[in-house]
């Protein structure tokens, strides 16, 4: 993710949402009166994947809008407006698909119920937080980097003041390489 975004901070923004989803999962277990089990932890791993995916969808769209020349605030608002449905539907299909498992009473389902509870309650909280906190953290990061709310600031990201778009990095030598002895 760091290579794709060409930033060390943007993946940290994504990782900052994961603990909040875990809080939702633990809260869900408390509501249902369930203990955290090994299968609950498997659900947390799946939860992490969905939360990271939702966050990447949002941040990638913001980056593209800024690269297209949109000012920061407009890019954040546009990303929230245009990626709201994909992020929400991704989470809702998982929640609705797993909800019947919570009511299952068979012996086999008792093993899977903690995993479903982790996913359902974690996603319920994390989806809302992704939609609000990712743009907020992104805005705070941009402001800390010195961007103005009305200027495209992608070229200032990560100290790339000249906006050289990483073209100055030496390319690998093509063709045969001669080793001098």
Spell out the domain ranges in the chain.
8-154
CATH class of 8-154: mainly alpha
Is the model's pLDDT at 120 over the cut of 70?
yes
Checking if the pLDDT of 61 tops 90, the result is yes
Please state the φ and ψ torsions of residue 86, each to the nearest 5 degrees: -60, -40
Q: How far is 147 from 151, CA to CA, in rounded Å? A: 7
Rounded Cα distance between 25 and 157, Å, is 34
Q: Could you read off the pLDDT of 6-50 as tens digits, one per residue? A: 677 888 888 888 999 999 999 999 999 999 999 999 999 999 999
Instruction: Outline where DSSP puts E strands in the chain.
Output: none
CA-to-CA separations, 75 to 1, 22, 67, 130, 137, in angstroms, rounded: 20, 29, 10, 16, 14
Q: Are 47 and 25 in contact (CB under 8 A)?
A: yes
- What's residue 174's pLDDT? 47
Write a three-state SS string for 35-71: CCCHHHHHHHHHHHHHHHHHHHHHHHHHHHHHHCCCC
- pLDDT tens-digit profile of 132-156? 999 999 898 888 877 654 444 444 4
pTM of the complete model: 0.73
């Amino acid at each position: 993710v760091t290579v794709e975004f060409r930033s060390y901070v943007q993946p940290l923004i994504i990782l900052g949402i994961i603990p909040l989803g875990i809080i939702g999962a633990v809260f869900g277990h408390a509501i249902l009166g369930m203990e955290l089990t090994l299968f609950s932890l498997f659900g947390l791993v799946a939860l992490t994947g969905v939360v990271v995916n939702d966050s990447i969808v949002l941040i990638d769209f913001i980056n593209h809008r800024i690269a297209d020349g949109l000012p920061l605030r407009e890019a954040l608002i546009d990303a929230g407006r245009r990626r709201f449905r994909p992020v929400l539907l991704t989470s809702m299909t998982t929640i609705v698909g797993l909800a019947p498992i919570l009511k299952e009473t068979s012996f086999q389902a008792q093993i899977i119920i903690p995993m479903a509870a982790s996913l359902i309650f974690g996603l319920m909280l994390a989806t809302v937080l992704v939609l609000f906190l990712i743009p907020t953290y992104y805005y705070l990061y941009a402001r800390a980097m010195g961007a103005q709310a009305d200027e495209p600031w992608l070229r200032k990201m990560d100290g790339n003041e000249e906006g050289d778009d990483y073209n100055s990095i030496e390319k690998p030598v093509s063709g045969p390489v001669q080793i001098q002895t």
